[in-house]
Structures are given as structure tokens and as C-alpha cells.
A and B are shown apart, each in its own frame.
Chain A
Amino acid sequence: MTGPRFLTVGDCALSVEFGDTVDPTTNARVLALDKALGTDLPEGVIELVPTYRALMIHFDPLTTSLAALRKTVEQMVVKTGADDALGRLWRVPVGYGGDLGIDLADLAARHGLTEEQVVEIHANATYRVYMIGFAPGFCYLGGLPEALHTPRRIEPRLVTPAGTVSIGGAQAAVTSVPVPSGWHLIGRTPLKTFDPDGDPVFLFHPGDQVRFERISAGDWHTLSGRVERGEFRPTPEDDA
């Protein structure tokens, strides 16, 4: 296993880059270092931001130095390796198509598939939460079957609803708050992946696994009401 690249990011941040591709092994190394450093933040470190393939370390250069920080990380990387343990497995109910997924029909047509086939392919895959970014609780999912890889829309939409299950290029996502998006909206989950007043506030963590389960539009509305009233709280499966 080759060592990471250290990229100086201005005078107050250091990026520890484990690769330049989206793959589970690279991401697992990022998360392993994040966990090891985060357990007892080195002096002067302000926060850690794990992404697909790199760990961003924000620090105060008047409290620590880039050289000291780099040395700490180099020693730690040797010990941590990759965090191969799979995260928790979440089963995420999704209402596909219609008003809940306005781009499903178009996306199916692009690929010469029926809507039914798209849903089947989408719901038969297991996805990995690579990172949370862009907006509060917005999770980037890897593991989208190649048959559904779709270039982004030319005209992004200014607002897409929270809970949208979407496809952009080789990535899939579940949105947490209304955001502008150029991705294809194929369905919605009634679950809240970000709930400022909830417990937990953020449903998914990087490294978690996600599977989508189709529900009818009627069940979507029923479940959405239960989530709103606080009567339904999703739990991950134990044996993930």
C-alpha cells in the first residue's frame, strides 16, 4: 500500500490524499485515518473533513505546524491502514416515479428500459455512503449499477425537494434539504436524513451501506406522516 500524498492547502489546511478515484478501498483508508485522528484531535487541529479520497485537516498554524502535523499523520497512517469494517446497513423506503420521481420516465427512455426495470436495477444494488457534503446531511452514494449511469441534466433545477433519491453520472444520492440540482430525480424517501431537532441529527455516516426498497405512493404518504409526527424512526440492521 503506497503512502498518501500531502497537499498544502493554503496556510491553515492540509489535505491527505489517498488516491484520485472513487473506490471503497481508498475511501476506507480516508475513514480509518479520520477515526484515528478524531479519537484524540492533535493540538491545533480544528476539524477533519473526510471525502471520497482525501482527509482535509483544518488547523491553526499558530498552535501547530504543518511539519508537526504531517509527521503525526505519517506515523498514524502506518498503523491505521484501511477501515475495512462495513458500516451499518440502512434499508431506505422509496416511492419511485410519478410526482415523487419526476425524471424516472425520461431516464428509463434514455437507457431503453422500462420504469419497472430501472427501479429493479436501482433497488437491487447495495450502495456505500462515501461522504457527506455539499449541503447538511447530503450523502454521496457509490455503487450505482453501470446500466443506470446517466450524465447530469444540462439545465440544473433551482430547487429539488428534501428526501429526493437521484442519479448524477456514476453517483447516486439522497438529498436532505431542498437544494439546486442537475441530477435526475427518480424517487423520494419519507425518511429524514438530516433533522436538526432529531436524534440522531444525521442519519447516515460515511462508510454506511444503503439499500433502497420500493414502496407505493400511498405508503409513502402514510410513512411520511408518521415520520413527521415522530412515530417512525429508522434503525439500521445489526448484522451489516
Chain B
Amino acid sequence: MKAALRLTRCGPWVSVQDRGRPGYQRYGISESGAMDPVSLVIANRLAGNGPGEACLEVGGPGLTMTPEGDEATVAVAGPAPRVWLDGGEITGNRGFRLAPGRTFRVAPSPSSAFVYLAAHGGFELSPMFDSLSFHARSGIGGTGEGALGEGAVLPVKGPAGPELALAEHPPIAPAKIAILKGPQFDHLEPGSWEALLETSWKIGARSDRMGVRLEGPVLKHTDKGYNIVSDGIALGSVQLPGDGKPIVLAADRQTTGGYPKIAVIARADMPHFAQLPAGTFVRFREVTLEAAIGLLKTRAQRIARLKIGPVGRGLDSESLLSVNLIGGVIRG
């Protein structure tokens, strides 16, 4: 008998996500995918999966689940995952081999937005448009039955596997998020660019997987105004609507839009930005295109060198195995 995970408590910010569905934006279908694709890859590696397997993306207040049918191996990853196994708290990026009936609760710490839960072998679900990522607004992806909730059962493909742990600290967020001038930078008053860089922005409470709202000073448009003929939108674009309150367009962003995109977050820093919970503060620093690509290369190398070993063996180098995590980290 195969294992399945039964969700016994499920917060509103829990969804199935993989690396998204590029290729369909031309048909109006959003890319979606993990808000923090680096943690998604780490969760998958800790579960013994390929890097792009679908995981449960878990935002606050978290998720409680129980394996059914057979043993299952799951792994959690994120900047600061919190796990309670039958009520006892265990921290760290690591795998858990769970007998049926155990109670497993996972949530991000208050300092981060998401934790990823991978199951060894992945989830037995049918992709829509080449991906399992759930897009709330269109209802595409996931289990095919809309948003996850209490009582949902997710069948697991694989048998139980070994328990692995990340044997070093997960990637650390930079003090400032790298940002580039955007394609409609000329719609922004020069003084407002300074304000963008000098402000400590608060992550707005109305943020979601589609857009992250920045609360701070109102930025001003030049006389070119705030309406443009709609064009495409890259991940991390900072859109400035008529009210002058910037919105960072995230994984579930619409495919096209008619507001000026005054800046774009460097792709390497986008997972760190996406991990900022509502109510926390963020600062930006301007980087050149070359510097942004340099950050992306460094990130790929760091991830490739992450050390993973069996749970409980400590961090001695003999028990560690270095795994190649480069593949597919760029996207998203």
C-alpha cells in the first residue's frame, strides 16, 4: 500500500508548487511556481528527489498532516522551518521518516514566509500545462480541485527513503535586496528613485503570491504618467500604479500589465525577498546587470556545494555528500 498525506489542519497559504509552468504566458496563463525556488530544491534534495519535484509550499500559520497507508519520508526546507512531531519541536532543514498515524506539523518561523515540504518520490498528481503548481486565481494546477484545505489527501509516489539533513546553514538573506532599473524607469521622477533606494520599506499585509506590496513614501511618476500600452511582465518587476504605491510582482503575477515597471529585483535575490513576511522591513541597493548575473552565478555555485548527510551523523565531513543542485535553480 502506498503512503498518502492527510491534511488535518491547513492554513490559507498552503499550496502545491514546483518550478512553475513557463511557456504558457503567451496564452494568459501565469508562471506560478515556488516563491522561494532555492528552498524548494533543497527540500527535494533532502527528500531524495530531483530538484523540480512538486512540494507543499507552507506559509503561516502552517500545516498539520498525518501519513496514511504506509511509511512516508518527508523533508522540510526554508530559512527557518519549525516542525512539531507528535507535539515535540524539532528544528532544521531535514528529512523525517514517518510511520502512519504520526502527527506532523510544519510552519515557517515568524522571520520567514515559507517552508517547503517534499515527499520522497513526489506527489501522485496530474500536471496541468506541464506543471503541478497551483495558481489560485485561475484554479489551475495542484490537486485539480481548487485550494487545499482540511481533509485533503495527497498520495505519495515513492516508498519511504533515508532521512537526510542539510549539514550547514541554509542560504542567508543579504542585508539589502539587489535591484535594477526597470524597462519604464523613465516614468519615475529622479527623486523617487533615490527614495526607493533610501527607504526602509514595510512589506504590506495585503501581499500574496501575485504581488508583494511595499509600504512607504508615495513615489511619483514623471509627466509620462502611469498608463502604458500593456506589455509583458518579468518576475520581480516593481510596478508603480497610479497611487504611487509600488507592488513587486511575484510568482502568480498576471502575464501582462499596463502600469510602468520602474525597477526589477535581481533574480538571485528574489527568493530572499519572497521570504520576507508581512510587517517586516526591506531595503534595496542598485546593482548593474553584470553584478546581478554575478550574484546568480555565485548562488548557483553555493547551492552546488551545499552539504547533505544522513540525519544524526553530525557534521563530520566523511558522512557528508555534496550533491549537484545547480540544475534549474535559475528559473523562478
Contact = CB atoms under 8 A, between A and B. Distances in A.
Contacts of B267: 10-12, 61
Contacts of B140: 136, 196
Interface residues of B, number: 42
B296 interface: yes
Q: Which of A13, A22, A50 has the most CB of B within 10 A?
A: A13
A196 B128 contact: yes
* Number of chain A interface residues as a range: 35 or more
Interface string A101-136: 000000000000000000000000000000111111
A194 B28 CA distance: 10
A10 B234 contact: yes
Interface of A: 7-13, 15, 17, 20-22, 34, 46-56, 58, 60-63, 66, 131-138, 140, 176-177, 194, 196, 201-202, 206
A240 to B, nearest CB: 21
A193 B286 CA distance: 42
A9 B182 CA distance: 6
B21 to A, nearest CB: 10
Contact of A133 (B236, B256, B261): B256
A236 B183 CA distance: 37
B264 A10 contact: yes
A193 to B, nearest CB: 10
B222 to A, nearest CB: 15
Given A46-B23, A51-B256, 4 more contacts: A51-B232, A56-B25, A60-B331, A132-B27
Contacts of B26: 34, 47-50, 132, 206
Contacts of B228: 20
B29 interface: yes
Interface string B217-236: 00000000000111111111
A49 B237 CA distance: 15
B27 A137 contact: yes
B44 interface: no
- Residue of A34, A134, A137, A138 with highest tally of chain B CB at under 10 A: A134
A213 B261 CA distance: 38
A56 B235 CA distance: 12
Interface in B251-269: 254-256, 261, 264-268
Contacts of B256: 49, 51, 131, 133-134
B332 to A, nearest CB: 10
A11 B266 contact: yes
A133 B254 contact: yes
A197 B67 CA distance: 32
A34 to B, nearest CB: 8
Contact of A53 (B23, B27, B229, B235): B229
B169 interface: no
B300 interface: yes
Nearest to B326: A62
A12 B180 CA distance: 11
A169 B24 CA distance: 27
B235 A49 contact: no
Contacts of A63: 330
Most buried by A among B26, B182, B235, B264: B26
B28 A54 contact: no
B28 A9 contact: no
A161 B228 CA distance: 27
B158 interface: no
| 6 interchain residue pairs of minimum CB distance | A56-B232, A10-B264, A133-B256, A13-B234, A7-B183, A11-B292
